[in-house]
Amino acid sequence: MLRPMPPAAALPATPPPARRGRPPKTAAERDEGNRRQALITAAARLFRSKGFNGTSTRDIAAAADMQSGSPFYFFQSKQALLHAVMQEGMASAVASQAQALAALGARAPAQEKLRTLVRHHFEVLLGPGSDFIPVMLYEWRSLTPDERVSIGAQKDAYEAVWMPVLRALHRAGRLKARPEVARLFVFGALNWSVQWFSDRGTLSLDELTAQALLLFTGDE
């Protein structure tokens, strides 16, 4: 004798399809990410103002409004935190530089691309939240040899974007120096601005960019 089928409501529900990709972060994971970022930001500010040797992990924890031992939950040492500061700064600079050029467009004239690159670099060096790259300039010797290799690779990727622009200007006769040498002079001049520029002075970053372009190519 055949048994009647159970009503549809009694049948087991079909399981929902498995979600692809990384599962969303939990509240605890998001909080840890925020705390880690707070430590990096506080460390960058203090390393720039007090120097790596003059800053303690206790100083960093206090600036991030954390307990004195909190940095060691996220970083093995103050040295590892310095490395993270530079990694964060270079990664952000590479990404924002790419965005600035993408917004300009691939067909823009080389002089416009140079203006965009110079203006962006001043923003990285001197704009709001600009502690990361100056720390790299000040504290390069505080890195271990292996750390210098990894940060150097990021720095090379950032500066490599400038070379096609400098070569195009050189071919057009608007840049007289050899492009590979010009790159060294350009970054030397721009980076030194962290030593003397003041946002309370008479030059805005746009005006500073115009002066730099006059120096490099004779055009604003």
- State which amino acid sits at residue 216: F
Contact 105, 196 (CB under 8 A): no
Helical residues (DSSP H) of 51-77, grouped into ranges:
57-63, 71-74
DSSP 215: H
Helix axes 132-139, 27-50, angle to 10 degrees: 50
Tokens 């399981």, residue located: 15
Domains of the chain, first to last: 78-217 (1.10.357.10)
Is residue 181 within a helix (H) or strand (E), and if so which, with residue range? Answer: helix 179-196
Say if pTM beats, i.e. exceeds, 0.75.
yes
- State which amino acid sits at residue 195: Q
Is residue 134 within a helix (H) or strand (E), and if so which, with residue range? Answer: helix 132-139
pLDDT per residue of the chain (220 residues) written in tens, 0 to 9: 445 555 544 444 555 555 555 555 454 445 676 888 999 999 999 999 999 999 999 999 999 999 888 888 899 999 999 999 999 999 999 999 999 999 999 899 999 999 999 999 999 999 988 899 999 999 999 999 999 999 999 999 999 999 999 999 999 999 999 999 999 999 999 999 999 998 888 899 999 999 999 999 988 6
